Amino acid sequence: MIQVGKVLLSDELLEEFFCCDLNACKGACCVEGEAGAPLKTEELEPMMEKLPAVKKLLSEESIKIIEKEGPAILDSDGEWVTPTIGDKECVFAFYDDQGILKCSFEESWDGTEKDFRKPISCHLYPAREVELFGSTALNYHQWEICSAACELGKREKIPLFKFLKVALERRFGKEWYLELEQIAVQIKKGPKTL
């Protein structure tokens, strides 16, 4: 583990390579898993405000579920998550013309910081944020559906933390990310010798 400010990061975030390959996985991370996307309480209001824009992209089934359950539900741990269709894909996901599952929030995002882009848990993926002894920790969630992303990241030589740059800056700030980059450079150089 390394620490940047008050955030703990698993070493894999600096050591592993990653770059989403949607042509290979077809957006499987929006389908697979035990529940919908984890949500922060402060994301609920911006999601509600954005509903009219995203509904234009959603299936009738998704809209019915959102109207019945709301845009967020409490999971078995009492945490907010997005509802799913039949315990599968997130209700806010839609298939594009190539059969790739995409996020309706991101698709309708206007490019500004004021507009809700997507849940931060989705933006940070495959990093998962958890609270650990009063601190925020980021771990790398590695599983088979992202194997093509790992291969592409290795070919393109994109470290996971660099792939996640925009999401990490959105979550922790640009200064925090610059500090992370500096730490990564020092780690790559190795320990100083006398």
Q: Which DSSP category does 37 fall into?
A: -
Identify whether the C-beta of residue 73 lies closer than 8 Å to the C-beta of residue 91. Answer: no
pLDDT in tens, 106-127: 999 988 888 999 999 999 999 9
Contacts of 162 (CB under 8 A, 6+ apart): none
pLDDT in tens, 70-107: 999 999 889 999 999 988 899 999 999 999 999 999 99
Domain borders along the chain are 1-18+126-189, 31-112
Strands 101-103 vs 93-95: parallel, antiparallel or unpaired? antiparallel
